[in-house]
Amino acid sequence: MEIDKLSYMVYVNDKFATEGTKYSILIPANSVTPLKIPAEITTSDMLNLIASLIKEGKKSINVDIKGVIDLPIKFFGVVKTVSISSPFEVPQTYALP
């Protein structure tokens, strides 16, 4: 499967953390291939997040990745004619020790 563009935003406990875009991704057929997405967050934003978790007494961290994936549509599997865009969302919850 080919992906022209993957645009994403990362939210931690419903607060915006970071965003990014990856281009020209190829996922081999019949494979389970994890996509690694770069995510940068400032030290002050991370410390503020940790402080809010402690203040609220949270026992878990919710991470949501939301975005849009652009897939190419090819004529005879060779010539790209158009791309279609599809939204996606990947929620994860991590328990704190």
DSSP string covering 10-70: EEETTEEEEEEEEEEEE--TT---PPP------HHHHHHHHHHHHHHT-SEEEEEEEEEEE
Token pair recorded at residue 75: 């004529």
53 pLDDT above the threshold of 90: no
Token pair in block for residue 80: 């790209």
Confirm if 65 and 8 have CB atoms less than 8 A apart. yes
Domain that holds residue 81: 2-95
Q: Domain tally for the chain?
A: 1
pTM, full prediction? 0.78
Q: pLDDT band at 32, cuts 50/70/90?
A: confident
**What 3-state class would DSSP assign to 77?**
coil
* pLDDT tens string 54-90: 788 888 889 999 999 999 988 776 777 788 999 999 9
